């Protein structure tokens, strides 16, 4: 099923529909936009037909002043092919009658916008990149802790939602509980959000579903957040050796992006909310170039070297 269609773009940018009304639901497969300047001049060898085509003052001025009537009909016929999702004329310019006729024959919708061409291209590109970005969903809880998007993962019943509730009580913000929808905006940027059905809701075993925004106010939730850190909660295993220094950084790949992951063992008496707060603050310090584990390792190495020299 198509994730975005021409009618979505029309509604988002309040475009005026000029012709091709029956075809406004054509799907859009790419976020790339084309300004068919060479095509208007007759060069269609590399015509990117699957893109939204935007005609500005440059293209339409050349079309109006330098082409014969026969050439105009031929160019617009070739511009309006089956693959083309739609054509937009910018700056409220007059739409050529040859374009209107070709669009009706070939079922390609034509729109008009009051925006300048460059601004229109930029805004539609940003919109489509967001809509067509790679997406996935993960089981977990996403919380904004001190400005760091922390994705809490772990087996069902390990205490993810309870930990998130404690974090919200401590002034942090809930993004999503149970299911986190993730989209990759850029090669290294993952944005997490909540499915609309369970937005602002938190499920606590024995208590049921609570509305975090109603209980704690609008400042306790946010709609989306960049995922920077993953906290994986697991039941304490006495036979397993857990990292006690933090020198080795584990990574988890989501879509095409590697995200730092910390594994925190869970057992009675451990305050997970405080641990996650400290992990978020420590993560921020590392990004600023202050690595406490590395500093300790350097001190230890220096101390050992001094003892060796004295001997």
Query: Model confidence over 258-305: pLDDT tens digits?
Result: 999 999 888 887 899 999 999 999 999 888 887 776 776 677 677 777
Q: Which residue has the tokens 């707060």?
A: 277
Q: Report the pLDDT value the prediction gives residue 3, as an integer from 0 to 100.
A: 83
Phi, psi of 93 (to 5 degrees): -70, 160
The total of other beta-carbon atoms located within 10 Å of residue 59's CB is 22
Alpha-carbon distance of 282 to 120, in angstroms, equals 42
Alpha-carbon distance of 306 to 7, in angstroms, equals 72
Structural domains in the chain plus CATH codes? 6-132 (3.40.1390.20), 135-298 (3.40.50.300)
Asked if 55 and 24 count as a contact pair (C-beta separation under 8 A), the reply is no
Q: Report the pLDDT value the prediction gives residue 50, as an integer from 0 to 100.
A: 96
Instruction: Map residue 132 onto helix, strand or coil.
Output: helix
Q: Is the dihedral of CA 63, 69, 71, 73 positive or negative?
A: positive
Q: For the chain, which residues score pLDDT lower than 50?
A: 1
CB under 8 Å to 227, separation ≥6 — which residues? 142, 149, 151, 182, 190, 191, 192, 254, 259
Alpha-carbon distance of 45 to 285, in angstroms, equals 53
Give binding residues as ranges: 154-161, 203
For residue 246, CA distances in Å to 233, 262, 263, 277 come to 16, 9, 11, 16
Q: Report the pLDDT value the prediction gives residue 194, as an integer from 0 to 100.
A: 96
Q: Report the pLDDT value the prediction gives residue 136, as an integer from 0 to 100.
A: 93
Please identify every residue annotated as catalytic. Answer: 139, 160, 178, 244
Q: Report the pLDDT value the prediction gives residue 125, as an integer from 0 to 100.
A: 95
Asked if 160 and 140 count as a contact pair (C-beta separation under 8 A), the reply is yes
Q: Report the pLDDT value the prediction gives residue 293, as an integer from 0 to 100.
A: 66
Give binding residues for ATP as ranges: 154-161
Give binding residues for Mg(2+) as ranges: 161, 203
Q: Report the pLDDT value the prediction gives residue 44, as an integer from 0 to 100.
A: 96
């Amino acid at each position: 099923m198509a994730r975005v269609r021409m009618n979505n773009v029309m509604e988002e940018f309040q475009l005026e529909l000029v012709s091709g009304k029956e075809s406004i639901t054509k799907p859009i497969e790419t976020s790339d936009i084309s300004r068919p300047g060479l095509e208007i001049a007759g060069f269609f060898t590399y015509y990117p037909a699957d893109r939204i085509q935007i005609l500005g003052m440059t293209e339409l001025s050349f079309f109006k002043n330098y082409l014969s009537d026969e050439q105009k009909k031929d160019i617009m016929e070739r511009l309006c092919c089956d693959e083309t999702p739609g054509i937009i004329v910018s700056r409220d310019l007059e739409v050529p009658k040859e374009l209107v006729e070709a669009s009706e024959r070939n079922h390609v919708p034509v729109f008009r916008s009051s925006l300048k061409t460059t601004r229109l291209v930029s805004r539609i590109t940003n919109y489509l990149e967001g809509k067509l970005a790679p997406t996935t969903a993960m089981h977990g809880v996403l919380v904004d802790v001190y400005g760091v998007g922390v994705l809490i993962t772990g087996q069902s019943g390990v205490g993810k939602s309870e930990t998130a509730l404690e974090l919200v009580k401590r002034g942090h913000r809930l993004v999503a509980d149970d299911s986190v929808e993730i989209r990759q905006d850029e090669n290294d940027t993952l944005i997490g959000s909540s499915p609309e059905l369970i937005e602002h809701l938190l499920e606590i075993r024995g208590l049921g579903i609570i509305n975090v925004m109603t209980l704690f106010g609008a400042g306790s939730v946010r709609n989306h957040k960049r995922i920077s850190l993953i906290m994986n909660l697991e039941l304490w295993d006495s036979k397993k050796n857990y990292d006690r220094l933090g020198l080795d950084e584990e990574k988890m790949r989501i879509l095409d992006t590697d995200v730092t992951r910390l594994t925190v063992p869970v057992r009675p008496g451990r305050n997970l909310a405080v641990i996650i707060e400290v992990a978020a603050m420590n993560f921020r310090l590392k990004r600023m170039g202050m690595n406490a584990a590395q500093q300790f390792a350097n001190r230890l190495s220096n101390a050992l070297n001094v003892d060796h020299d004295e001997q």
